[in-house]
Amino acid sequence: MTPSYDIAVVGGGILGCATALRLSEGGMRAIVIERGDLGQGASGVNAGTLSLQIKRVKLMPYALEGHRRWAALGDAVGYRETGGYTLAFNEREANLLHERMALKAEAGAPIEFVAPSDLAKREPGLCQQVVAASWCAKDGYANSSLTGRYYRARLLAAQIPYREHSAVTAIEPFEQGFTLRTSHGEVSSRRLLLACGGWLQDVTKMLGVDLPVRARINTVSVTERGPRLVNTVVGHATGLLTLKQKANGTVLIGGGWQGQGSPREGRGRIDLGTLVPNLALAQYAVPGLRRLRILRSWTGFEANVPDFYPLAGALPGVPGAFVLGCVRGGYTIGPYISELMGDFILGREPERPLFDPARVFEATT
Ligand X SMILES: Cc1cc2nc3c(=O)[nH]c(=O)nc-3n(C[C@H](O)[C@H](O)[C@H](O)COP(=O)(O)OP(=O)(O)OC[C@H]3O[C@@H](n4cnc5c(N)ncnc54)[C@H](O)[C@@H]3O)c2cc1C
CB 303 within 8 A of CB 200: yes
Whole-number minimum distance, CB 54 to ligand X, in Å?
8
Kind and range of the H or E element at 309?
none
| Choice between 66 and 94, CB closer to ligand X | 66
State the burial class of residue 59 (Cβ atoms within 10 Å of its Cβ: 0-12, 13-18, 19+). Answer: buried
| Choice between 252 and 292, CB closer to ligand X | 252
Whole-number minimum distance, CB 104 to ligand X, in Å?
15
CB 276 within 8 A of CB 298: no
| Choice between 132 and 180, CB closer to ligand X | 180
Whole-number minimum distance, CB 232 to ligand X, in Å?
15
Whole-number minimum distance, CB 116 to ligand X, in Å?
26
| Choice between 15 and 279, CB closer to ligand X | 15
Whole-number minimum distance, CB 301 to ligand X, in Å?
6
| Choice between 94 and 253, CB closer to ligand X | 253
Whole-number minimum distance, CB 254 to ligand X, in Å?
6
- Chain residues in the site for ligand X (CB under 6 A): 10-16, 33-36, 40-43, 45-49, 167-168, 195-199, 203, 218, 220, 242, 254, 300-302, 325, 327, 329-332, 334
State the burial class of residue 200 (Cβ atoms within 10 Å of its Cβ: 0-12, 13-18, 19+). Answer: buried
| Choice between 40 and 134, CB closer to ligand X | 40
Q: What is the DSSP string of 117-133?
A: HHHHHH-TTS-TT-SEE
Q: How far is CA 33 from CA 52, 152, 167, 182, in A?
A: 31, 12, 7, 9
CB 152 within 8 A of CB 38: yes
Note the helical H segments in the chain: 14-25, 42-45, 60-73, 91-106, 116-122, 147-157, 200-205, 272-285, 330-345, 359-362
CA 74, CA 284: separation in Å to the nearest integer?
32
